[in-house]
Amino acid sequence: MQTFLSSVRNALPLLRRVRRKDDWAIGIYGGADLRALQPLPGVRNPVLTAAHVRDVPALFVADPFLVRADDHWWLFFEVLHAALRRGQIGVAVSRNGREWEYCRIVLDEPFHLSYPLVFSWNNAWYMTPETASQRQVRLYRAVDFPCRWEYAATLLEGDDYLDPTPFFSQGRWWMFVGTNSARNDTLRLYEAATPLGPWREHPRSPVVQGDPRRARPAGRVLCHGGRLVRFAQDCSQNYGKQVFAFEVTELTPERYAERPYGGASLLAPQRADWNARGMHTLDLHPVQEGAWLALVDGYRKRFYVRNGLDRG
């Protein structure tokens, strides 16, 4: 008994350092029907994890956004810094969209960054990362794509804007933004002539209210074949459980309407896998006739031992 008690006492310092974390990672899905996306054959998911990040200590990677430039695929995503406990924006590169090489952190601020939606406009690259802690939507412009970005403008301020999702349709710019971070149940809609603004809230906004299953954005709006599809993460049970799709059936300066696109969730957890607990972001791109490439994220619960770099 004495030996057992001694063993317990010796183990206590280690046990006090054990932490449980949401271990987010990034994978690749694909398919001919975006309502039936599956892990891409021949790809071992996840393709990017915290272990791939070399320039900062990372707890996880999440929120993937993909663009094509200079015959390469460039993937932007959140990197949660283990010591600072705030998100930074990293980038990885691929020639074929399947095999990825981590590059570096490309945007860091003294506040949390995530959800780095990147888009092009007027022959330049722009990014609208989430900066909800500053109660702003901020726009950044690439001064040397993909690695150097500068602050360009503040698009909105005065609320906890979640996952800003701008897109272009019918000669106008539009932007979905989640609010009410305590419940993740409100989606607002804004419009502008250019990404620089000024942005005006749509008269039908909020377009979702009191519904955490379909309010918070989950990725870039898909504009394909005359159809607009937006993605929402289900936060009704826990944050980022699964992803639903909604077709925008009416979008004018005065009117807005949508309906579910497909009957079931577009992305859902897979038991005993890297995404066993949830999935909450995807970025879809057509790669050939009738085929889609989807960068997705997911998480599992994982125990780890806190070290000197982890202040959590």
- The C-alpha atoms of residue 266 and residue 234 are separated, in whole angstroms, by 11
Q: CA 172 from chain center: how many Å?
A: 24
Does an H or E element contain 10, and which?
A: helix 2-16
**Model pLDDT, residue 83:** 97
Contacts of residue 237, defined as CB under 8 A and 6 or more positions apart, other chains included, come to none
Residue 120: how many CB atoms within 10 A of its CB?
13
Q: What percent of the chain has a predicted confidence (pLDDT) above 70?
A: 90
Please check whether residue 103 is in contact with residue 79, taking contact to mean a CB–CB distance below 8 angstroms. Answer: no
Whose CA is closest to 235, among 162, 311, 141, 151? Answer: 162
Whose CA is closest to 284, among 270, 268, 263, 267? Answer: 267
- The C-alpha atoms of residue 292 and residue 68 are separated, in whole angstroms, by 14
- The C-alpha atoms of residue 302 and residue 221 are separated, in whole angstroms, by 31
- Residues 104-118: pLDDT tens digits? 999 999 999 999 999
Sign of the C-alpha dihedral computed for residues 101, 106, 111 and 113 taken in this order: negative
- The C-alpha atoms of residue 240 and residue 235 are separated, in whole angstroms, by 5
pTM > 0.85: yes or no: yes
In this prediction, residue 124 has a pLDDT band, given cuts at 50, 70 and 90, of very high
- The C-alpha atoms of residue 278 and residue 23 are separated, in whole angstroms, by 10
